[in-house]
Structure 1
């Protein structure tokens, strides 16, 4: 272990304090910056300073890298708070936090170099078709990847690749499926394309990037969520990155819905719609709808948090996660994304013409919830996989 790693036992900034409380303290700063974040398609320097100062990017990072290793349910609650202030900020935080879990699978010295020694470390990666050819000491990497949320403030970038052996065959797992290995590359070595022209979550700056024939040393590559490469065995790292991405992005959706519902309630207390003398708050339609949507959002939230807490307690006791727990996390997370979208759509519609103005707090949330719901974690197909499990079948799905 290097001399630098000998310092890794130092507590993370904010360690011992509630990360959700730290997030609440920053929410007004983030909310005030939201229009600029969307306009510039990037988190502002002031927001980044505040988030790094509160160590919000380090909640899922190993303690050995000055992280906190918080419980998944705590991470979801943190995501809700940030996303209620600005969805793009919550999304970037969720993406970088999920990436940081790879530190538990890497050589300790390399993990420290990427995440530990830099208090402003953040990793971004996206989906694509990369190929890593085996060469002496590592890999020759070529590929293009999209959807690199948070790439503008990232310090390192990952590229997910299939691995091609020297004889031209693809490296496969025990089931005969090609494996995916992630290549970790300093951001300043990467070429980016300004391709993020979208309807919602504009502030994530989820641009496209690529490399051609770049050498990556073997120790700077990782197979995430594989038992053979797991070096840290705490309860958090028995959960997969998929579990935290699914739950964390569900937290973003629920945060958007929470913010939307709160803004709608505040408006309904004061607004009298055009062509009527009856205040909005006195409408039975609004009263009933508000109650129904509060119940819908709170029920979805309770299901996800309960599922994560029960899984955490079980994993902490037995040392591993079961298929039952994996499926319930998937079901609860995807359901929360769907229910949150329904809540936002109801509030947007009932807000009337007020909702269509950029100066009001509704239209951006409407766009953001629909952008977030299109991401892979919100796919309706996930529910089919859960149903297969409940019926005694053996679903083969990547996203459980």
Structure 2
């Protein structure tokens, strides 16, 4: 297949995002109910290059600067967290193309609508070395964007040794790649929030995967550029934090609209005219703005180092880790405040605050939002050896 080429400047995508954001906003209830993006919308976004934003240019990707990508992500987050989540998940994973065998990367992204989804392995997962590749077994969960994905990436531990005396060249975890029809999709995604991500599970039963369709997930990148010098976990964290901040900002806008028309029972005063409301709104605005500024500052420092030096300090990595976690946790507080201001009207599905409330509290349960990352930062600040993933 021939490689698709897409524009590589941020101005193009910022202009193109507007109509897509409007379509996402209009389809938000359908996305939530059907637990997926509308196929025509996902296809059109793929055709417009929105799943190739971080893909190397050598593969027909835009290879945008990561700060530019976050601008686009924040726009989609205000319309629907699930779509924004998939955009981040699928685009960040596309940076792994720079670590795959080059021919395999061209095979996958030679398809114009290519999207790769992935998910963490369960304890049942194991890749056994055999002649020419691996035999793969197991179940993987939380594969966001499964419906519109074309390929599946399975991270797996590798068994020591193998059949016919075959051994793995590296006994650490590997990522094994398969066209989606080669796996069994399992629908365990019955949640209260982020339903539209379609984060289904998949099973693999004794499937042979050729060596050239596998790679070490943290191996060296063959593509140049600062984007591929940043640990993928931090790219995920920054993007998901940006989604959370977008949800929080939109929740405040919803609460402002409710406050201008809602008169609490027996109060005789509009919600907006109550001092409690005014104080709550002011505090929530400050929380969201401060968390966003912290994330932008930490991310900016790290990005500048990646661009100018090609290396990152531990301080820069940990600062971004804690800033992303803080943005997610603080966004939840902001959404809770907005939800409370909406009163009894907020409990109904017809109020858009309800979906944001549910989405936000699923986001906080993701590993990128766990409190343990504060401990990592604390260890580093106290002069201890920091533990964790950063």
Partner SS, residue 285 of structure 1: helix
Secondary structure of 2:158's match?
Answer: strand
- Greater shift after overlay, 363-372 or 309-318? 309-318
Describe the shift of the 1:81–1:16 C-alpha distance in structure 2 as closer, same or farther (beyond 3 A): closer
Match of 2:128 in 1: 133
Task: Spell out the pairing of 1:104-123 with structure 2 (5 A cutoff).
Answer: 104-115=98-109, 117-123=110-116
**5+ unaligned residues in a row in structure 2: which ranges?**
none
Counterpart in 2 of 1:281?
A: 272
CA distance in 2, matches of 1:111, 1:172: 20
**Residue deviations 1:322-370 (CA, integer Å, cap 9, x gap):** 2111101101100000010000000001110110111111111111000
Tell me if the contact between 2:130 and 2:167 (Cα under 8 Å) persists in the aligned partners.
Answer: no
Deviation, structure 1 residue 170: 9.6
2:177 corresponds to which residue?
A: 184
Q: Is the 8 A contact 2:229 2:310 kept in 1?
A: yes
Q: Is the 8 A contact 2:251 2:335 kept in 1?
A: yes
Which of residues 77, 89, 93 is equivalent to 2:83? Answer: 89
What per-residue deviation string (whole Å, max 9, x for no partner) do you get for residues 370-389 of structure 1? 01110110100011011111
Q: Secondary structure at the match of 1:192?
A: strand
Alpha-carbon distance in structure 1 between the residues aligned to 2:35 and 2:167: 37
Return 5+ residue gaps in structure 1 as ranges.
none
Q: Take 1:51 and 1:299, find their aligned partners in 2: how far apart are those partners?
A: 32
1:41 to partner: Cα distance? 0.9
| Per-residue Cα deviation, 1:199-250 (whole angstroms, up to 9, x for no partner) | 1111111111111111111111122233xx3212311000121011101111
CA distance in 2, matches of 1:164, 1:184: 17
1:150 correspondence with 2:145: yes
TM-score, normalised on structure 2?
Answer: 0.94
Query: Following the alignment from structure 1 to structure 2, what is the Cα–Cα distance between the partners of residues 75 and 16?
Result: 8
Q: Which residue pairs with 2:284 in the alignment? A: 293
- Superposition misfits of 4+ residues, deviation over 4 angstroms: 13-16, 167-173
Q: Residue 164 of structure 1 aligns to a residue in which SS?
A: coil
1:24 aligns to 2:9 (yes or no):
no
**Following the alignment from structure 1 to structure 2, what is the Cα–Cα distance between the partners of residues 251 and 170?**
42
1:101 counterpart residue number: 95
1:75 aligns with 2:69: yes
Pairwise CA distance, 1:287: 1.1
2:45 counterpart residue number: 51
Whether the 8 Å contact between 1:163 and 1:170 is mirrored in structure 2 is no
**Are residues 53 and 17 of structure 1, via their aligned partners in 2, closer, same or farther at CA, if it must alter by over 3 Å?**
farther
2:347 pairs with one of 331, 350, 356: 356
1:119-268 equivalent positions in 2, closer than 5 A: 119-129=112-122, 130-166=125-161, 179-226=172-219, 229-268=220-259
CA change 1:146–1:328 in 2 (3 A) is same
Q: How many Å apart are 1:172 and its aligned residue?
A: 10
